[in-house]
Amino acid sequence: MIRILLLLAMCAFASPIFDHQPEQAIKTTICAVKASPTFYNGKLVEVAGYATHGADNSMFEDPTCFWGKQFAGTWMQFGGPAGGHGREARPLVVQGVGVILLHDATFDRLDKLLRSVPGKDISVKATVRARFFVTPEMENGKHDAGNGYGKRNCCMLFAIEQVTAVESTAPEPSIFQLAKVPKR
């Protein structure tokens, strides 16, 4: 009888350990994230937008709230490899959080389109799950260069964990052209 009670007690305490559910992404928009960066900081979000890649740019943006229209930009970076493939040679860790990319056929489709026109800024419409980050300076409203992430420390960061859909079938104009703002 004591063994049965001990077994039942062990099961009751072990249950929460095995009940771990993967984190659910918050389905939102890039514009909502940019409007409330402190709220979304460190959170996993699912957003649709344009991945733009070029010599000086790696961004995930929405033309309706692009950085040239009062918001800071959103730098795009793929998470580190999960024991294998990936553009990054080592795991990506931001603000103490590890970000791992799911390298699958959907990611490969996005990656192939982004690399299809070397030397030219292009965009690809996609939906991604990404961890969003802002620096403490950006949380305090300092959206100028030197206070963020990216090549020129210019931006907020979308650290991509998964590409869930690729809507583009061919490269599209750069985010600068889509948003109709001059390139910085």
Round to whole Å and give the CA distance between 7 and 13.
10
Round to whole Å and give the CA distance between 87 and 1.
57
> Which one has a higher pLDDT value, 150 or 144?
150
CB 113 within 8 A of CB 168: yes
CB 30 within 8 A of CB 49: yes
Helix, strand, coil fractions of the chain, as percent rounded to 5? 30, 30, 40
CB 58 within 8 A of CB 77: yes
Round to whole Å and give the CA distance between 77 and 59.
8
Per-residue pLDDT at 18: 47
If DSSP codes are grouped into helix, strand and coil, which group holds residue 180?
coil
Round to whole Å and give the CA distance between 98 and 162.
14
* pLDDT tens digits along 41-61: 999 999 999 998 877 788 899
Task: Report the chain's mean pLDDT, rounded to a whole number.
Answer: 80
Task: Extract the tokens encoding 48.
Answer: 């649709």
Round to whole Å and give the CA distance between 57 and 111.
15
Per-residue pLDDT at 3: 57
Per-residue pLDDT at 179: 85
* pLDDT tens digits along 56-103: 788 899 999 887 645 668 899 999 875 444 455 677 899 999 899 999
Longest dimension (CA), the chain: 77
Per-residue pLDDT at 152: 72
Question: Among all chains, which residue has been given the structure tokens 């740019």?
Answer: 57
In the chain, the percentage of residues whose pLDDT exceeds 70 is 73
**pLDDT for 165 beyond 90:** yes
